[in-house]
Amino acid sequence: MPELSLLQRRQRVLGSQSPLFYDKPLHLVRGEGVWLYDADGRRYLDVYNNVPCVGHCHPHVVAAMHRQAATLNIHTRYLDEHIVRYAERLTATFDAPLDTVMFTCTGSEANELALRLARFASGGTGIIVSSYNYHGNSASLAEVTTALPSPEPFAAHARAVPIPCLYQAAPGTSEEQLAEQYAAKVAEAIASLKAQGLRPAALLIDTLFANEGLPRVPAGFVNKAVALIREAGGLFIADEVQSGFARTGEHLWGHQAHAVVPDIVTLGKPMGNGYPLAGLVTRNELVEAFGRSALYFNTFGGSPVAAEVGMAVLDVIENEQLLANARNVGAYVQQGLERLAAKHALIGDVRGKGLFFAAELVRDRQTKEPAGLEARRVVNDMRERGVLISKIGAGDNILKLRPPLVFGREHAELFIDTLDAALSAL
């Protein structure tokens, strides 16, 4: 019998639907900084992965993980210096009154826990999400998810509100009008929950709207939506699983761009640079009140190793000035993308913040018809050319560009030149 390929063995034991990137799946064996290496020794520039925010296999993070794993790793119900030191350092980066942290292992768990806290604190069950959202894979998140297929029907206690985008807005609409129009949709969603006898518990949104494709949100929209949910007795949960840890180049946290302090902030992906570390930050009284009713513990979340890894990630962000790097190199990439948009009519819009970009591909700049097939070809062609990117959006036509934060100008140049070549070859 012929030997099975790695792909065939994977499909046999993980099931054939377990998702893989690219028409020709990539077999990676090593990572370093912004580079990934495949089984044939070929090098790829990583312009997609935000989890290794300080770079793949950063030696400082690896050393911290190794040191603590060789000393003590245990569940979280003992006194432990590491978790307390990390919690102190992490909460110090948030605005008052966000001063207390609960650790988990995944972003899904963090959002699930945030929903429990919000329901408890508000006494309500109603949830408002974006109409193209993904916040995690637990049962209560799956039933409010709209960006990925799932067999669960959309929850009767949830309402999905479209997120405004200046690029997609009707011509002549001012930023202020657009913010008003969409805030009115949040107000409608709240009224509709109430009409059904449901009290709103939370507005759950990603403040960068990463999965939505980084829409150009009109100034003031988030603040208006937050004011409405609070007026209705609900809480504002800011999902920072993608927008946190210096990604935006402006602030450490994505919500800070909207000048609003959330009730709960959820964290994940880059927090452990690949080690499963996530959590939420909120005000002390919420955690105290919840804790009097629920005995919540998480076996692995915030273990000594997780805490040391989290500390090491914060060290690198600070020591290597990655917030400034995201801002500076991000501006450079943005300029490069704008140059490409001037050359290739397929690029309808380029949007970016720090080191997170969306390039919306359209067949016609007037009608903005999504160029989903073209996006797929570009993503696969880029992989063949040694640069890893992906795509998002309801039309699957928005290039998703989100490299590790140690991305430099030389990497930006290679990325832009390769994208230029891939677009020219279409």
Residue ranges binding ligand PMP (CB under 6 A): 106-108, 111, 134-137, 206, 210-211, 239, 241-242, 268, 278
Nearer to ligand PMP, 111 or 298 (CB): 111
User: C-beta of 134: minimal distance to ligand PMP in Å?
Assistant: 5
User: C-beta of 212: minimal distance to ligand PMP in Å?
Assistant: 10
- What amino acid is encoded at 95 in this protein? D
Nearer to ligand PMP, 201 or 422 (CB): 201
Q: What residue is closest to ligand PMP based on CB? A: 107
User: C-beta of 110: minimal distance to ligand PMP in Å?
Assistant: 7
Name the burial class of residue 244, with classes exposed (0-12), middle (13-18) and buried (19+) by CB atoms within 10 angstroms of its CB. Answer: buried
Nearer to ligand PMP, 221 or 340 (CB): 221
Nearer to ligand PMP, 235 or 419 (CB): 235
Query: Please, which residues have CB within 8 angstroms of residue 376's CB and are 6 or more apart in sequence?
Result: 391, 396
Query: Whose CA is closest to 416, among 399, 391, 393?
Result: 399
User: C-beta of 256: minimal distance to ligand PMP in Å?
Assistant: 17
> Does an H or E element contain 60, and which?
helix 59-69
CA distances from 41 to 29, 379, 386, 390, 407 (A): 9, 21, 12, 22, 21
User: C-beta of 336: minimal distance to ligand PMP in Å?
Assistant: 25
Nearer to ligand PMP, 236 or 336 (CB): 236
| Tally of CB atoms within 10 A around 397 | 26
User: C-beta of 340: minimal distance to ligand PMP in Å?
Assistant: 26
Nearer to ligand PMP, 272 or 348 (CB): 272
* Cα 151 to Cα 175: distance, rounded to the nearest angstrom: 37
User: C-beta of 46: minimal distance to ligand PMP in Å?
Assistant: 17
Nearer to ligand PMP, 326 or 416 (CB): 326
Nearer to ligand PMP, 144 or 241 (CB): 241
User: C-beta of 133: minimal distance to ligand PMP in Å?
Assistant: 8
Nearer to ligand PMP, 49 or 108 (CB): 108
CA distances from 95 to 231, 246, 260 (A): 21, 15, 10
User: C-beta of 239: minimal distance to ligand PMP in Å?
Assistant: 5
Starting at the edge strand found earlier in the chain, the sheet holding 390-392 runs 347-353, 356-361, 398-401, 390-392
Quote the tokens at residue 151: 């067999």
Query: Whose CA is closest to 142, among 98, 170, 112?
Result: 112
Helix (H, G, I), strand (E, B) or coil at 278: strand
User: C-beta of 37: minimal distance to ligand PMP in Å?
Assistant: 24
Query: Whose CA is closest to 98, among 261, 257, 216, 207?
Result: 261
| Residues forming a β-bridge with 266 | 239, 280
Nearer to ligand PMP, 132 or 347 (CB): 132
DSSP secondary structure, 337-366, as one string: HHHHHHH-TTEEEEEEETTEEEEEEBS-TT
CB 316 within 8 A of CB 303: no
* Cα 6 to Cα 25: distance, rounded to the nearest angstrom: 10
Q: Return phi, psi of residue 7, to 5°.
A: -60, -45
